[in-house]
Amino acid sequence: MNCFAMIVRALFQAAKVEEASSPYDTIHLKVFYPAQMSGSDREQDMGIVPADPQRSLFKVVIFFNGINCSPDMYQWFAVKLAERGLVVVTFSWIAENLPGMVSLTPGVNLRMLPPNTYGSGPTASALPALLAALERLQTEGVLAGLLDLQNIVLGGHSAGGRVAIESANPRFFPQVVAAFAYGAHTAGILQLGYPSGTILPLPDALPLMLIGGTCDGVIAKSSHHYGVDWEQATTPVLRTFREAIAGGRDDSYLLLLEGANHFSIAYPFDSTTGRPFLDFPATQPEDQLRNLLAEAIGLFIDAHVCHQPTALTALTQLLGANNPLIASFERK
């Protein structure tokens, strides 16, 4: 038995958001990493387990939660990616994005959303502070010198997925190299001045994976914000893939999961916050949906960020298979 096999560990950090005001100016990070037990006194006494240097340099995934969705609900996913040799950052930020509305937020820069500013800057207001925290981790602690900070992937769920794919622009952050989102789209909100049914463009400069579920009740029941009735729960996700990006590089993917709902990526599920009461029931085994989701995203990163030679073939085979959990798959 190998007592020093690779395991996943996590450490905590805090970061200040310069533009935010107290007490809503602090982000708390949980950073998952591939570790290797050493048997040292420091490990035994304080639980500080070294990173596995043989798997470095570690490419980094920053994951943006949905509004009022605890980062704990995505820990299963962070662990899955860390087991592939990635460092994964989840975070908790309680802020007052709208006057009188205090929430657990992925960080949405509202100034970048109206028609006169959209596309001119990132919508992920937490991202500069998160990147600064990673720079600090590169200089001290168990991850010092082991991070590949020139290969950062942005991902997220719901509103967090939206800010991830909107902010994945090398003009804003040259170290960001790919993005993915679950249960997210770029429909323009009526109250911000967009015409009904508008789909806003994405940077379209990096590999991208959009994933949606056919039983997403939250998206289906939120269509009034965009001045339309979506034909299906997946319509705005599908339209985002087809209209918000031109493609042409064969590194943009659309995966629609049969029977998945808005919170299929969240486990264990928390019904006390957010808008789970809008969701439809999932109609396929949720553990199987989660495994497929994690494998698809993991292979996407392996292929287009880690450039593993067999990953692209494996991803194509996975998504092209006659799988009852896959409603449809497109690539462009």
pLDDT classification of 2: cutoffs 50, 70, 90: very low
**Cα–Cα distance for residue pair 91/49, rounded to 1 Å:** 21
**Cα–Cα distance for residue pair 246/34, rounded to 1 Å:** 36
Q: 15-33: string of b/e by CB count within 10 Å (b at 16+)?
A: bebeebeeeeebbebbbbb
Domain 6-331 has CATH 3.40.50.720: no
Tens of pLDDT, residue by residue over 72-98, are 999 999 999 999 999 999 999 999 877
- Averaged over 28-43, what is the pLDDT? 88
For residue 51, the SS3 value is strand
Question: In this model, does residue 1 exceed pLDDT 50?
Answer: no
Do residues 246 and 317 lie in contact, with contact meaning Cβ atoms separated by under 8 Å? no
Tens of pLDDT, residue by residue over 129-138, are 999 999 999 9
- Which one, of 155, 185, 183, lies nearest residue 168 by Cα? 155
Domain ranges of the chain: 6-331
The percentage of residues in the chain with a pLDDT greater than 70, rounded to a whole number, is: 98
Which pTM does this prediction carry? 0.96
Residues 6+ apart with CB under 8 A from 64: 106, 107, 124, 126, 154, 155, 156, 157, 159, 160, 161, 163, 164
Tens of pLDDT, residue by residue over 177-196, are 999 999 999 999 999 999 99
- Which one, of 257, 267, 266, lies nearest residue 326 by Cα? 257
- Token pair of 184, please? 């997210």
